[in-house]
Structure 1
Amino acid sequence: MLSESPIGIYDSGVGGLSVLRAIGDALPRESLLYVADSAHVPYGEKTRDYVERRACVLADYFVSRGAKAMVVACNTATAAAIAQLRQRHPGLAIIGVEPAIKPAAHLTHSGVVGVFATTGTLASPKFAALVRREAPEVRILFKPCPEWVRLVEQGVLDGPEAEAAVRAPVSELREAGADVLVLGCTHFPFLRDAIQAAAGPGVPLLEIGVPVARRLRHQLQERGLLRADGPGQLRLETSGAADALARQASRLLGRPLHAEILAERWR
């Protein structure tokens, strides 16, 4: 494992690109290998065993590509599989994601925090333990929003359809007293403008990417694996349609990008 080795990042689709964007901003010298497991999206409606199996397949793939670190850029997959992945590949730096419950608990004035996430994340024991540990004195309101994942996967980020999809869930939590909202799925930052408009200009929306990039940098630094020169390269791969990923990623990241299909054994 060398400092020039890539960092593997994956999600069930394009949502993890919000995390990749934060990592690229924080670590511009690093080479990034992003896998969109689009043939299996959405994870939030799959069983825990199914998500674990896909996590192991993709972790094995990153190891086969010589990755020096792996970022599980999906709350559902983190909740279902992060412990198993660390046991399976103890020498690999593996970073998971989790909703920003702790900072939300510090920011709230009403004592009520709203969390938007997938069904799988909200139902997981890991998420329940996070809430008990980080926000025991705060009332947490949960709202699963699987439709938001579909919108982002389809590239519908603004306009009437996006506005209609976010309006009712946001209003429900705001009317219940939530004065801080947590975007607990990596897809959701791409709907930030629509969510902010529905919530109001003064309502904090907490994302995941920046804290993940900070933890990743720290782990690489501790292991002596930060790349000294660059810029790094970005490679996109998918278990689904490469042209669709290239089109979506180009729009979401704001620059022309190319994508390739994973080898059959990893799909």
Structure 2
Amino acid sequence: MTTQSQPTIGVFDSGLGGLSVLGALAAECPSAHLVYAADTAHVPYGNKTPAQIRARVLAMGQALINEGCTTLVVACNTATAEAIEALRAAHPNMPIVGVEPGIKPAALNTQSGQIAVLATAATAKSQRLAQLIARHAPHKTVHIIPCHGWATEVEALHLSSPAIIKEIELLLLPLIDQGVDQVVLGCTHYDFLAPTLNMLIEGKAQLVGVAGAVARRACQVSGAATLTTTQGNIRLVATANPERLTAALPALGLNALSARLSKSAQLMVAD
């Protein structure tokens, strides 16, 4: 049973990508209980219509509330861009934290004035991304790169697959050669491609992720930031094939989470 002193933070994504945020939260908020929900029955979100994405986000949010969560983290750039306002409208009294591409830090840190944003098709064309660029990087050159199929490759744990390397070489490396020095990871799945990306850009550009910043914000709004109570546990749930979550942790470099799992991953209904 959740107590007031030990809040429960629910984190969700279409699949494995949001585990990057969960890992940051586990380090930032050791006293909070964490529930990670993967909507694997509908992965990926990046190729869905706005209406489909909103429907899934509302269903996943409600399912996590039913699981006892007192704070929600939408650990998906596509879901945040298309549906976080609808989720906040449905639950006006609940703290809800989203994930947005790190345009602001990239704009502050660029020396060349050129930024690349790696994003899903839905995020790439979203009004929310356009607004972030207009607000934080109006005088910078921002190259938006739709990365078709990258999230699917991460779901398959193909983190350095020939297909990914070919795509990076084709889409990103020419921009690096032209002077891009900040590469924004505009999808939480892409955090797990960081080793491959860093290998290919060879220190010519800096990767910009936001998992740590999102974790700090969620920890703060949940009330867990100042707690020193017993370490919270972690539960993993999914709308299909929950066993894949547990199996993916070692491949994604998240072995540390395994010690905090209260049970094996479970199936969750979110309709």
Q: TM-score, normalised by structure 1?
A: 0.93
- In structure 1, what is the equivalent of residue 255 of structure 2? 254
| CA distance, structure 2, for counterparts of residue 138 and residue 262 of structure 1 | 43
Residue of structure 2 aligned with 1:119, choices 121, 125, 128: 121
1:171 is aligned to 2:173: yes
Residue of structure 1 aligned with 2:61, choices 55, 59, 62: 59
Shift of 1:65: 2.0
Paired residues of 2:180 and 2:205 also in contact (CA < 8 A): no
Paired residues of 1:183 and 1:207 also in contact (CA < 8 A): yes
Paired residues of 1:170 and 1:195 also in contact (CA < 8 A): no
Give the 4+ runs in structure 1 shifted more than 6 A. Answer: none
Greater per-residue helix proportion: 1
| CA distance, structure 2, for counterparts of residue 36 and residue 175 of structure 1 | 37
Q: Deviations over 1:71-103 (max 9, x none)?
A: 000000001111111111111110001000001
What residue identity is the alignment partner of 2:43? V
Partner SS state of residue 38, structure 1? coil
What residue identity is the alignment partner of 2:245? L
Aligned pairs for 1:142-161 (under 5 A) are: 142-158=144-160, 160-161=162-163
| CA distance, structure 2, for counterparts of residue 226 and residue 54 of structure 1 | 33
Paired residues of 2:118 and 2:146 also in contact (CA < 8 A): yes
- The alignment-based identity, stated in percent, is 37
Listed as ranges, the gaps of 5+ residues in structure 2 are none
Shift of 1:245: 2.3
Moved more, 194-203 or 226-235: 226-235
Shift of 1:151: 1.2
| CA distance, structure 2, for counterparts of residue 124 and residue 162 of structure 1 | 23
| CA distance, structure 1, for counterparts of residue 255 and residue 169 of structure 2 | 26
- In structure 2, what is the equivalent of residue 192 of structure 1? 194
From the superposition, tell whether residues 220 and 3 of structure 1 become closer, same or farther in structure 2 (CA, over 3 Å).
same
What residue identity is the alignment partner of 2:187? C
- In structure 2, what is the equivalent of residue 235 of structure 1? 235
Paired residues of 1:68 and 1:225 also in contact (CA < 8 A): no
What residue identity is the alignment partner of 2:90? R
Aligned pairs for 1:1-267 (under 5 A) are: 2-158=4-160, 160-221=162-223, 227-252=227-252, 253-254=254-255, 256=258, 258-263=264-269, 266-267=270-271
Partner SS state of residue 231, structure 1? coil
RMSD of aligned residue pairs (Cα, Å): 1.8
What residue identity is the alignment partner of 2:100? E
Shift of 1:116: 0.2
Shift of 1:4: 2.1
| CA distance, structure 2, for counterparts of residue 159 and residue 46 of structure 1 | 24
Shift of 1:26: 0.8
Partner SS state of residue 188, structure 2? coil
Paired residues of 1:13 and 1:153 also in contact (CA < 8 A): yes
Q: TM-score, normalised by structure 2?
A: 0.91
Shift of 1:202: 4.1
Paired residues of 1:115 and 1:183 also in contact (CA < 8 A): yes
Listed as ranges, the gaps of 5+ residues in structure 1 are none
| CA distance, structure 1, for counterparts of residue 226 and residue 4 of structure 2 | 9
